[in-house]
Structure 1
């Protein structure tokens, strides 16, 4: 697989499932989701299904779900404004036409006197500019603004993010990182079902083409009973004995097809991190089962979560330097290298990146999901939300600093790999 394609597929999948978590829980809470986007910048492709526009945007650096009520509504109706109204057969408003009203010959033209499009859902105005014809119109749910011939669904208050309970808002935000952990577990599970999972049994696994084991006559599936007279019960024991005896002949007593035989193997010497160890070119045994794959998926997810959290701890304490971080460029290069090793390695790499994305997004930093969850925690303690404008400013500053960090990390990546 081409490195760029591999990166786009992996990163796109991670972002897709992250944002899908937000979308599913938002819709479950009854929030109007205006857009589900993969990427930022100009739209490359889009389609609308039900209430939501699904888009792919030019810059593959993330994604978002645009929910009603998270930001101030882009369309307002004010007293004195002239708008067009398209009515249903009962005389209720289906569409409020903001401009280009002449293109809608069936629209009722009114000068707005008053409107409540969040709670009581009505609009009153003077029909055709006649000050003696003040009428009140009920606005349907759903109804739409029409701006430059584009329909924008009106969001009543009960369909907005801010109207939902603290628990619903919390789960909507938390669902994004949660979905990354679910995705990682699912990928590890699939790998276990298709490729198998390692087991600590004294059985010879796959052999390399030019390893000492194959040259000596060992075969995949051989059961190792003892090495140099020392009984072995686990694969870990076999590895430890081989590593401890480089360039020394070892006598393997094995069982194959019901027969017991002796095979002499001399491990090759290899220096790893300053230590000389023995290797015979054998992988550990693998098994396949649904329950075993489920267990392995959970263990892998836990292991990599712990490892990534440990790395973050080192970053905080200064043991892990900033120039050791990788941004999109570094991840793309690493993904290309992993892709060369095969599909299972690429799948595992994607699962690890998914866990990393979930953890990073849970950090209590402005502009990240964790930052928003922190504000929800403060709201729970105070008994009331923090002023939306103040919170928005904190997130804006946080986002700007995050983009600055991204630029620094990306420049480091370019210097490491291309300069």
Structure 2
């Protein structure tokens, strides 16, 4: 393999990864920035990336817009923050002139601070809605008729009585028009009994089936989901393209966003409860790999990946862990209930716990990435 080919391969994965991650991170941080500005808070720095500064620009408000060497995130540093994590600089606060305190983040009332912190994850959800709306409006959606083409012998569907040619009409009373909708319901219902209504030879037949919960490979890694044991016909006659007006595209985008929120939230909840495996966690290496592969399919799939990643990052940041946005909101909830902020000692201790949690999460995700890549290189599956 030539050096040129190796460099091109690296670029073909790195460029989509930086595009997807940069878009998601920028919207997240811009949410913090915009609401902070609206609340009259001075923004000292808006950084894309961490580490040594590569380029910068200072605007008329005194904000330093910087591009850093390591583009694996970003941050907004408000006046009075001790670090990019927005923990207060308690020592500096004691000697800060009143004019500076007035525009400092820590001096704002609890509701303004909460609004600024919540704006980041909210911006992630807004980005997803914008992307999904654009995808549905400009590209529509491919609909696969929910007709059973094959039933796996020995699977849950065969045991329940599904037959080739069955047309799925509804699941638990929900109308089914697309095989993808059926797959989504089944995948989220491992171990739960579902009530199907199918059309068979012109008659409606009711079937109760319980999807088997098992690990399956997806573009984002191993996913533990419900499996029924059926497939749809892939012929052109089974597909149709659905187009949407702008209002309907926005409505469909809301449904898509909620689906990703629900599935991601269910996984995070299952992870805490011990029902889900940490093997499904992915880090930067895996995201870069998936971005490169998705980019080969075109710009629309890459935007779709950005929307999914944006929702995931938004939800992750809402976890009630100090250092994350959700941890800050937890502090503010205590402050609103008590009528005064938690002591500096308690806050600093919480930030240390949060840092340890985030570091452990990144270590697990990176370990999973390395294991996956090693297995691929050794052809171990």
Same-fold status (TM-score > 0.5) = yes
Q: 1:5: which partner in 2?
A: 15
Deviation at 1:337, TM superposition (A): 1.9
Q: 1:152: which partner in 2?
A: none
**Alpha-carbon distance between aligned partners in 2 of 1:237 and 1:62, rounded to the nearest angstrom:** 39
Describe the shift of the 1:398–1:73 C-alpha distance in structure 2 as closer, same or farther (beyond 3 A).
Answer: closer
**Alpha-carbon distance between aligned partners in 2 of 1:46 and 1:413, rounded to the nearest angstrom:** 33
1:177 to 104, 121, 126: 121
1:54 to 56, 65, 78: 65
**Alpha-carbon distance between aligned partners in 2 of 1:278 and 1:300, rounded to the nearest angstrom:** 22
Q: 1:15: which partner in 2?
A: 25
1:159 to 98, 103, 108: 103
Query: Comparing both chains, which one has the higher relative contact order based on Cα–Cα distances under 8 Å and sequence gaps of 6 or more?
Result: 2
2:229 to 275, 279, 303: 275
Deviation at 1:364, TM superposition (A): 0.0
Q: TM-score, normalised by structure 1?
A: 0.63
Q: 2:252: which partner in 1?
A: 296
**Alpha-carbon distance between aligned partners in 1 of 2:308 and 2:96, rounded to the nearest angstrom:** 46
Instruction: Look up the SS of the partner of 1:2 in the other structure.
Output: helix
Q: 2:79: which partner in 1?
A: 68
- Larger deviation, residues 179-188 vs 190-199: 190-199
Matched, 1:349 2:305: yes
- How many residues align structurally? 292
The answer to whether the Cα contact below 8 Å between 2:281 and 2:364 also exists between their aligned partners in 1 is no
**Alpha-carbon distance between aligned partners in 2 of 1:57 and 1:12, rounded to the nearest angstrom:** 12
Considering only aligned residues, what root-mean-square deviation do their CA atoms show, in Å?
3.4
The structure carrying a bigger helix percent of its residues is: 2
1:369 to 318, 325, 333: 325
Long gaps (5+) in structure 2: 1-10, 83-87, 146-164, 170-174, 184-199, 202-225, 376-381
The structure carrying a bigger strand percent of its residues is: 1
Instruction: Look up the SS of the partner of 2:239 in the other structure.
Output: coil
- Larger deviation, residues 396-405 vs 36-45: 396-405
Aligned pairs for 1:230-245 (under 5 A) are 236=176
Describe the shift of the 1:280–1:352 C-alpha distance in structure 2 as closer, same or farther (beyond 3 A).
Answer: closer
Q: TM-score, normalised by structure 2?
A: 0.69
2:51 to 41, 46, 56: 41
Aligned pairs for 1:16-415 (under 5 A) are 16-50=26-60, 51-71=62-82, 118-119=97-98, 156-197=100-141, 236=176, 275=229, 277-281=231-235, 282-415=238-371
**Alpha-carbon distance between aligned partners in 2 of 1:358 and 1:314, rounded to the nearest angstrom:** 18
> Deviations along 1:306-342, whole A, 9 cap, x unmatched?
1111111211121211122111111111222222222
**Alpha-carbon distance between aligned partners in 1 of 2:178 and 2:77, rounded to the nearest angstrom:** 55
Deviation at 1:74, TM superposition (A): 11
Describe the shift of the 1:276–1:17 C-alpha distance in structure 2 as closer, same or farther (beyond 3 A).
Answer: closer
> Deviations along 1:56-86, whole A, 9 cap, x unmatched?
111222111111122276998xxxxxxxxxx
